[in-house]
Chain A
């Protein structure tokens, strides 16, 4: 996936929506900028399949050596799949955050949060932050 084609939360999660068997599926991950800021990730806690997540609310945690950061869901819906192998291979987030580094897939019924940013707007936010 291209970073340019994704939508972003101001909390650094990305989301990409596709159709699968007539069902809208949102794939969620965290941005390259977030990965760089967090430095040396050591652990990630994934939600379990079947969990209901809410847009703007926490769905998991990611830890570096000295800090723990919540992950916020960009969408409301039910978790249909999680990237089981990711917590054991967090290096993937450095090399391929937008494809192999996806975190969870959520089946969504409603539109995504209107607070999401497009690539340009998100880049602008990151520029201000750094």
Chain B
């Protein structure tokens, strides 16, 4: 339970002369610091950090933690984020000295266990994606997108082709156009049809010999599998372009279909979504990418390979065509260790059942929610769906009912769905239950949502009513940003 007295910043708890740690006496002969470092490079006073004791630190941060909703404490149906249960066995294993206390510049001979793990993970991701060449380097999904688009740029440059355009549907994650821009491409938005699938005519109009990559999220952010995907791949491939699959929604299709089999040339995984790495309050994640054999030479370096002759694993610095490094050391290994544990825990049947259960849960929730909210893209979905709060706008006159409903859900102890995304659905509420929620939880959530949409405009608009704070003033925060604490005169 939250300690109501604990509302201060760590700086406001500071008392001059306190310390949370006692370091050992220096056991080597001590030199005068000024003999070692010129005075001009030394600071004149100690850093102005807070002065608090260890018990104060524990109480302060423990109390802060109780102000968060989390997967361990609440149902968290945040669409597109795959907030599934984070297995504790993975946390324990990843913290062992044999994984956590390894220096990146140890000799390869002293790292055979971790290198084997990473090499096997590369192979498992290749099998799950249907794309044989893997780089574990990228540090996040968006970083994977960027790395893959750089791979595409290097590939076309090698072919001597000037391809300047990256295309993606209007329902794409905002990271897609951003990655295209950062990789030096122009970006073109392709319309979706009313049913949420890619508008093929619009795609055809924009395809040409300047098309580098078509980025597709399949299943899409609307939770729909675009069954035209083979045709799309053929159209793009016929112009010499490549297909990139945004793997944010892989939780729907593990062991059922593979991006490499439906035409993708490149993709990224989000192990912090699909393979249960905890989200950590917004990171770390990881963004491994998988590509076709043709694109392998361009992948970021290094990768892990196995030498048959010496029977050892080693860091493979890749070919001269490699785009080079995108991340220091070997990427977010800690996240990859958890992903490895997750895949090994499930095996082939288990992974398929993860997706089957995620899709069953989403369709079940959809069947309940469509009774009282609009679900513009039909009665079936994959692992998530987007409802619209437009009926509530009509009934109540509220301008932003999705926001109001989201805030009201907080009063009932549910984390709201993702709202106002994708941009193509008015008053969108994107719900992704994941496979680790029980029917009882989904029933309770749907019942609550049903009760909420019938409440008065006033009740909704003034929500939340029970949280510690209510509707912070974001405009004030952005107009006159206060982004650090400063000591005020007493």
Direct A–B contact present (CB less than 8 angstroms): yes
Q: A43-B478, A43-B479 are in contact. List 9 more A-B contacts (CB 8 A).
A: A40-B475, A42-B475, A42-B478, A42-B479, A63-B478, A65-B474, A65-B475, A65-B478, A90-B479
Binary CB contact string for chain B from 453 to 482 against chain A (1 if under 8 A, 0 otherwise) = 000000000000000000000110011000
Q: State A90–B478 Cα separation when bound (angstroms).
A: 12
Q: State A90–B475 Cα separation when bound (angstroms).
A: 11
Binary CB contact string for chain A from 28 to 54 against chain B (1 if under 8 A, 0 otherwise) = 000000000000101100000000000
Q: How far is the CB of A64 from chain B (nearest CB, A)?
A: 8
Contacts of A63 in B (CB 8 A): 478
Within 8 A of A (CB), among B400-450: none
Binary CB contact string for chain A from 58 to 71 against chain B (1 if under 8 A, 0 otherwise) = 00000101000000
Q: How far is the CB of A39 from chain B (nearest CB, A)?
A: 9
Contacts of B478 in A (CB 8 A): 42-43, 63, 65
- Tally chain A residues at the interface, Cβ within 8 Å: 6
Q: Nearest chain-A residue to B479 (Cβ)? A: A42
Contacts of A90 in B (CB 8 A): 479
Q: State A116–B372 Cα separation when bound (angstroms).
A: 46
Q: State A38–B479 Cα separation when bound (angstroms).
A: 15
Q: How far is the CB of B181 from chain A (nearest CB, A)?
A: 14
Q: State A98–B366 Cα separation when bound (angstroms).
A: 49
Contacts of B475 in A (CB 8 A): 40, 42, 65
Contacts of B479 in A (CB 8 A): 42-43, 90
Q: Nearest chain-B residue to A90 (Cβ)? A: B479
Q: State A40–B475 Cα separation when bound (angstroms).
A: 6
Q: State A65–B481 Cα separation when bound (angstroms).
A: 12
Q: Nearest chain-A residue to B399 (Cβ)? A: A39
CB<8 Å pairs between A and B, sample of 11: A40-B475, A42-B475, A42-B478, A42-B479, A43-B478, A43-B479, A63-B478, A65-B474, A65-B475, A65-B478, A90-B479
Q: State A63–B479 Cα separation when bound (angstroms).
A: 10
Q: How far is the CB of A90 from chain B (nearest CB, A)?
A: 7
Q: How far is the CB of A72 from chain B (nearest CB, A)?
A: 18
Q: How far is the CB of B240 from chain A (nearest CB, A)?
A: 32
Q: State A40–B477 Cα separation when bound (angstroms).
A: 12
Binary CB contact string for chain A from 61 to 101 against chain B (1 if under 8 A, 0 otherwise) = 00101000000000000000000000000100000000000
Q: How far is the CB of A130 from chain B (nearest CB, A)?
A: 13
Q: Nearest chain-B residue to A89 (Cβ)? A: B479
Q: How far is the CB of A38 from chain B (nearest CB, A)?
A: 12
Contacts of A40 in B (CB 8 A): 475
Q: How far is the CB of A57 from chain B (nearest CB, A)?
A: 16
Within 8 A of A (CB), among B64-98: none
Q: State A65–B479 Cα separation when bound (angstroms).
A: 9
Q: How far is the CB of B481 from chain A (nearest CB, A)?
A: 9
Of A40, A43, A63, which is in contact with the most chain B CB atoms at under 10 Å from its CB?
A: A40
Q: How far is the CB of B279 from chain A (nearest CB, A)?
A: 21
Q: How far is the CB of B54 from chain A (nearest CB, A)?
A: 39
Q: State A65–B475 Cα separation when bound (angstroms).
A: 6
Q: How far is the CB of B19 from chain A (nearest CB, A)?
A: 40
